[in-house]
Amino acid sequence: MLLTVNQLWGWRGVTGRRYSTAATVALICAAVVMTAPGAAYASPSPPSSPAAPTPPSDASLEKVRKEIEKLYHDAGVATDAYNAAEEKADKQSEQIVKLAKDIAKGEAKLKKLKARAGAAARAQYRGGGLPDEARLMLSDDPGQFLDGAGRIRQGEKATKSMLTELDRTQDDLRIYAKDATARWKKLEANRKAKAASKKKIKKKIADAEKLESRLEKKERDRLRKLEEEAALKKQSAWVSSGILDDIGGKATPQGKKAIEFATAQIGKPYVWGAEGPGSYDCSGLTSKAWAKAGRGIPRTSQEQWKRLPHVAVENMRPGDLIIYHADASHVGIYLGDGAIVHAPRPGRDVTIAGAGSMKILGVVRPDK
């Protein structure tokens, strides 16, 4: 009896791998023995079906979970770099536009000054360019001459002032042009940095999605459960430390407005580089929430950590920002009672989570 091609080749398991070469050889050998000439046998039983593929264990799924977590963390770091480069590029573009306007005004002013200087030179030429002493000797009326001489000195003073202003305007234009060139170079550098970060973000997210797509649906569900269990374990340890016993601050009016805005975004998807209204990344949510509360804060979680006032965890109050991970690559808004609202990562929506479900770096206060 001959085996089918599928039986000889083996069956696919949940991971997409086939049986080993040894198993395949064993099946082929069995087929050869069963079909050899002169072989005596009676009513051979059909070959047994291959054993059902073994699903991955929780230990292997946990390894996958940690690998996916790292990939999304790296994508978050790259997202912060992308946002920072974009923010700098926007500011530099604004500065370049302002410089361009200053240069245009300077050139118009320079044109007028040159016209005035030319008119003064032509007037002096028509007057013969005689020195004051000669004019005094040739004048029939010394008093009239002295009046004219006063006006001449005033004119000379005005001309000198005009020439000084002309030189200063030319110097300003040279400075503007030099500054604009330097800012163009920085703008180009930030554009390249942004493009590099964008490429890295896409790769990390694609790698994470590819890793997760290899799993069956029930395994992806189990992976999601493992994520929740890991977060709950960290949150429980944080709460068990007694930290909430010391946290009792009340939200300010601005803090309440920031919380109200952020919680209204729950259910909207995380999209890297997004700051609303349909989607957000982590710092896009926090910066927009505080902007709606009337307080502009830095765009990225790393800059929020660097530039906003720090407060001790036990002194935090609702509305404060909790910064996560050693590289300050994630941020959420503290709601009180040990919870935050945040935009977690690609593939997830804005949601409420435990404030201690991730490694806390520190707390900053936008409205101190």
Q: Catalytic residue positions?
A: 282, 330, 342
Find the radius of gyration of the CA atoms of the chain: 38
* Number of C-beta neighbours around residue 266 at 10 A: 12
Q: Which of 294, 300, 344 is nearest to 319 (CA)?
A: 294
**No. of helices (H) and no. of strands (E), the chain:** 9, 6
Q: Which two tokens stand for residue 102?
A: 């200053």
Looking up tokens 């896409």 gives 202
Q: 106 exposed, middle or buried (CB, 10 Å; 0-12, 13-18, 19+)?
A: buried
The DSSP string of 337-363 is: TTEEEE--STT-BSEEEETTSS-EEEE
**DSSP letters for 299-319:** SSHHHHHHHSPEE-GGG--TT
Sign of CA dihedral 206, 208, 214, 216: negative
| Beta-strand relationship, 360-364 and 351-354 | unpaired
